[in-house]
Amino acid sequence: MAPVSLQAFPSLQELQPLTTITDWIRYAASQMERHECFYGHGFADPISEAQYLVLRTLQLDWDTPEIFYSSTLLPDEKAQILANIEQRCVAKVPAAYLLQEAWFCNEPFRVTPDVLIPRSPIAELIETRFEPWLVQQPRQLLDLCTGSGCIGIAMARAFPESHVDISDLSEAAVDIAIDNVSAKDLGYQVDVYQGDLFQALPDTRYDLIVSNPPYVDAEDIDDMPAEFAHEPRLGLAAGDDGLDIVRRILLDAPNYLTEDGWLVCEVGNSAVMLMETFADVPFQWPEFTAGGHGVFVISAQDLKAHQHVFLQ
């Protein structure tokens, strides 16, 4: 079914029969399906995204007991929900941007279109404290290409005795990351830097570098669903083969890792190209129980041993 135009979207007057939270969750989910929305920014289906959109518009937690779902909504509450549903369905704005909130590792983060919406499977590695690769408490951690700061902040939660640096090229993204670090009261543990990859970082060595850099190739970037157009292209596009940024990380990371350090990096659908391009490099590819793919792990020693390959 073709998407419905903005002019055809129902008015609040036409939707008077919708009175409860349940009614509006059902309606939002139906409209998302009718308008062929894409679910890939933290939600796998229309029901879960509709539930989140409606509850958070009402300033309710998304685990609000269902006994409240039969509550009757006020006219202004309905109007706010309808406005968000309309933006979600017609303009294809992801719910996280409409609410300026996304969840990662079980806590909320402020997000705007200046940063990617958190959704990395790296969350599962953080929750397992990067076992079996990390065998002892790390001292220094780095979140490279941090965006909202969610990965670095989640690592600070997982390793409260470690220091975490986070860095991004985008000044606007760094501002969001600073806001999130401040909101979590983690300024004593997390430092934020603005610069091109390792450029602005202090003179230190990291036990673990984690990065979710741009990795979308030129062919895929133009074929992505409309929802991705609201995300910063700087955080997605990475050249013809999707490896422009990853190549630089692979080449320079050994200069910033401890002797027994590790690099964890997400490359998504560009994983196949990475393995073909560097066929002799012993990347390890974790399997994720919660879904997701395209994250490699490699030791500092293996990076050093193959540094000549990354120069080509």
pLDDT by 10s per residue, the chain, length 312: 344 444 467 888 889 899 999 999 999 999 999 999 999 888 889 999 999 999 999 999 988 998 999 999 999 999 999 999 999 999 999 999 999 999 999 999 999 999 999 989 999 999 999 999 998 899 999 999 999 999 999 999 999 999 999 999 999 999 999 999 999 999 999 999 999 999 999 999 999 999 999 877 677 778 888 888 888 887 876 677 888 899 999 999 999 999 999 999 999 888 999 999 999 999 999 999 887 889 999 999 999 999 888 886
- Distance, in Å, from the CA atom of 215 to the CA atom of 194, rounded to the nearest integer, reads 20
Pick the closest to residue 73 from 59, 62, 92 (CA basis): 59
Say if residue 285 is in the same domain as residue 170. Answer: yes
Pick the closest to residue 211 from 157, 267, 130 (CA basis): 267
Quote the tokens at residue 135: 């065998």
Classify residue 77: in a domain, yes or no: yes
- Distance, in Å, from the CA atom of 77 to the CA atom of 74, rounded to the nearest integer, reads 5
Classify residue 250: in a domain, yes or no: yes
Pick the closest to residue 299 from 275, 283, 310 (CA basis): 283
Count the domains in the chain.
2
How high is the pLDDT of residue 237? 67
Say if residue 82 is in the same domain as residue 127. Answer: no
Say if residue 95 is in the same domain as residue 120. Answer: no
Phi/psi region, residue 170 (left: phi>0; alpha: psi -120 to 50; beta: rest), is beta
Classify residue 105: in a domain, yes or no: no
Angle CA 156–162–165, to nearest 5: 65
Q: Is the dihedral of CA 253, 256, 262, 264 positive or negative?
A: negative
What DSSP designation does 20 have?
B
Say if residue 168 is in the same domain as residue 295. Answer: yes
Pick the closest to residue 146 from 118, 121, 126, 184 (CA basis): 118
Q: Is the peptide bond before 225 cis (omega within 30 degrees of 0)?
A: no
Check: CB of residue 18 under 8 Å from CB of residue 74: no
Structural domain boundaries, residue 90? 6-99
Classify residue 177: in a domain, yes or no: yes
Pick the closest to residue 137 from 203, 208, 209 (CA basis): 208
Say if residue 94 is in the same domain as residue 135. Answer: no
- Distance, in Å, from the CA atom of 4 to the CA atom of 8, rounded to the nearest integer, reads 6
pTM over 0.75: yes
Say if residue 95 is in the same domain as residue 136. Answer: no
Q: Is the peptide bond before 132 cis (omega within 30 degrees of 0)?
A: yes
Cα(first)–Cα(last) distance of the chain, in Å? Answer: 48
- The SS3 of residue 227 is helix
What angle do helix axes 46-57 and 75-89 make, rounded to 10 degrees?
140
Say if residue 92 is in the same domain as residue 120. Answer: no
Say if residue 175 is in the same domain as residue 301. Answer: yes
CATH of the domain at 20: 1.10.8
Residue with tokens 């983060």, as numbered in its chain: 109
